[in-house]
Structure 1
């Protein structure tokens, strides 16, 4: 079945979360920012939904979803202390530690907050009438790879190179566009292939598929093996876009995806982080209604991924540690040693 109606159903609830005011005699609210991505991607919808949910649970703490260029910018913003919470991917911090760009353990400028077992998936798509049937057919073509400054853009280019061996500027023309502009490029034939990197269903792509005949590019097992091989830090995995995710998609589409999570600035007060985390796990049915992928953001996924990040030298925020201990989920392996 297609999932086309969920956004219209939950949009009013997302907006309502931003306008809940504290009582007149209450103490001033403390405001925190959550870096997401463009409004055309899944992260903004998730981030706005999660923020609204927290704001409904807490009267003295307000979380606001910020529009950004995505995972790469979010990581750099939280690393510099310019944003409080950041949706990102698990490979940035270990790579920075390895390059000595940040210090591990207590000296790191950010902490682990929340992880999901849902993945951000690579979506490569063309006009339905296009002669492009596989990624290798893109040689010499105009390819929308994403906006400048986005970690997803870097990942798109790297994935293409690993799968095909093609390099931007040499084997194809890389065009840096936001998601909305890539959709327009496909519609008006100014680009040949578009690359999205987000959790399905991507709202803007759902809408585009209703207006325009598009076709998703599937990856073969050999292509998936090339992409995943030797990339343990990035935690790339085979993924499937289920049939019917987008209009006209009659069969499942094999692709690759990457796990995702939220980092938190180290200086956010412990009690506020504890209360925000706890709020996210209060009234779960309401929280999970914001997007089909919301249900994947669980305590269990947070613990599982947290072990890997702790091994890399990234500790959990003390506020999260408090909650995990409170619900009996803390494990010694989550300690940074």
Structure 2
């Protein structure tokens, strides 16, 4: 088998090859367990966190060979989980709620997903540069934008924000692309795009790259005032937060934005003993995980809340977190 790390992920020195998605999400062969973890684009946070997690699981669970998949993001991840083509996903809560309920992109195909851990907060980041003259959401009208990669929760959340801001996804923009964050950054540098949406932890490499580019003044657009309208329509999965000034090169003011939690999810039929082993490894490596990306610092006991998880817990996860002292309330 030929491995291509540029397109697939990594795990303990083992790359997931082009055939890895053909494997069942959690397969046992010759007493070994193979598991694929669906993450996101290489310019985001899911990918490095998922790669590290696959490494921990491969080292920490005897017989486990975990690999990581590059995907469009949460929606694609949950679709893969529903098809039993991956064993674990990292996902935004809003996409997971839609998946379990069979709403929106999952209409008619609900996914039997269950939460096993609440990770960190994902921040909606509306990214542009000073030369575009864009300073507020209404300034996006008539501009060239990207609402995120197909299959990403960025796209779901971006379209909800655009709607709440009184803009039409199809009629109010000169062009609406569906690019990854890295592609979006390059397009802005090349003068082919004016702004893009990306939902992730911070800092994220694509936005850092843009802010550090010579001759560029990074601008993050505030949009917190639209959260009440979005919550009224889509439910209380979103909340206001701020990205502090200086989080990115050239970012001189705090960005008042909309956030959503991230979870690790599995199928409801994953054996409870496997869920327990996975959580033991995740929790035991949490300090090292935070060194991989600062977003993992928010993987804490007090964060394990039923409301934050958004979807039902896997029973074994409920048992695990209660055993650690979490109230889950």
User: What TM-score range do you get, normalising by the shorter chain?
Assistant: 0.7 to 0.9
Indicate the residue corresponding to 1:169 in structure 2.
Answer: 170
Taking a change above 3 Å as real, the CA distance of residues 131 and 93 of structure 1, as seen in their structure-2 partners, is closer
Higher relative contact order (CA 8 A, sep 6+): 1
Indicate the residue corresponding to 1:288 in structure 2.
Answer: 290
Q: Please tell me whether the aligned partners of residues 37 and 68 of structure 2 are also in contact (alpha carbons under 8 angstroms).
A: yes
Task: Verify: 1:121 aligned to 2:123, yes or no.
Answer: yes
Q: Please tell me whether the aligned partners of residues 218 and 251 of structure 2 are also in contact (alpha carbons under 8 angstroms).
A: yes
Indicate the residue corresponding to 1:133 in structure 2.
Answer: 135
Gaps of 5+ in 1: 1-13, 21-26
Indicate the residue corresponding to 1:327 in structure 2.
Answer: 324
Q: CA deviation at 1:285?
A: 1.8
* Distance in 2 separating the partners of 1:202 and 1:185: 17
Q: How does 1:226-241 map onto structure 2 within 5 Å?
A: 226-233=229-236, 235-241=237-243
Indicate the residue corresponding to 1:97 in structure 2.
Answer: 101
* Distance in 2 separating the partners of 1:69 and 1:220: 24
- 1:217-248 deviation line (CA, Å, top 9, x unaligned): 33265344444444324x11112111111101
Q: Please tell me whether the aligned partners of residues 227 and 238 of structure 2 are also in contact (alpha carbons under 8 angstroms).
A: no
Q: CA deviation at 1:19?
A: 4.7
Instruction: After superposing the two structures, state which structure 1 stretch, 31-40 or 258-267, moved more.
Output: 258-267
Q: Please tell me whether the aligned partners of residues 239 and 256 of structure 1 are also in contact (alpha carbons under 8 angstroms).
A: yes
Q: CA deviation at 1:304?
A: 3.9
* Distance in 2 separating the partners of 1:37 and 1:214: 27
* Distance in 1 separating the partners of 2:14 and 2:170: 46
Indicate the residue corresponding to 1:34 in structure 2.
Answer: 37
* 68, 73, 97: which one aligns with 2:71: 68
* Distance in 2 separating the partners of 1:200 and 1:299: 21
* 77, 88, 109: which one aligns with 2:91: 88
Taking a change above 3 Å as real, the CA distance of residues 267 and 222 of structure 1, as seen in their structure-2 partners, is closer
Indicate the residue corresponding to 1:56 in structure 2.
Answer: 59
Taking a change above 3 Å as real, the CA distance of residues 194 and 147 of structure 1, as seen in their structure-2 partners, is same
Secondary structure at the counterpart of residue 132 of structure 2? coil
Length-normalised TM-score, structure 1: 0.80
Q: CA deviation at 1:88?
A: 1.4
Q: How does 1:191-202 map onto structure 2 within 5 Å?
A: 191-202=193-204
Length-normalised TM-score, structure 2: 0.82
* Distance in 2 separating the partners of 1:194 and 1:259: 21
Q: How does 1:192-231 map onto structure 2 within 5 Å?
A: 192-212=194-214, 213-219=216-222, 222-231=225-234
* Distance in 2 separating the partners of 1:156 and 1:223: 12
Q: Please tell me whether the aligned partners of residues 135 and 217 of structure 1 are also in contact (alpha carbons under 8 angstroms).
A: no
Secondary structure at the counterpart of residue 277 of structure 2? helix
Q: CA deviation at 1:48?
A: 1.2
* Distance in 1 separating the partners of 2:227 and 2:326: 34
- 1:146-183 deviation line (CA, Å, top 9, x unaligned): 122222112112211212x1112211121111222111
- 1:54-88 deviation line (CA, Å, top 9, x unaligned): 33333322322211110111111112222111111
Q: Please tell me whether the aligned partners of residues 112 and 306 of structure 1 are also in contact (alpha carbons under 8 angstroms).
A: no
* Distance in 2 separating the partners of 1:229 and 1:36: 29
Taking a change above 3 Å as real, the CA distance of residues 297 and 39 of structure 1, as seen in their structure-2 partners, is same
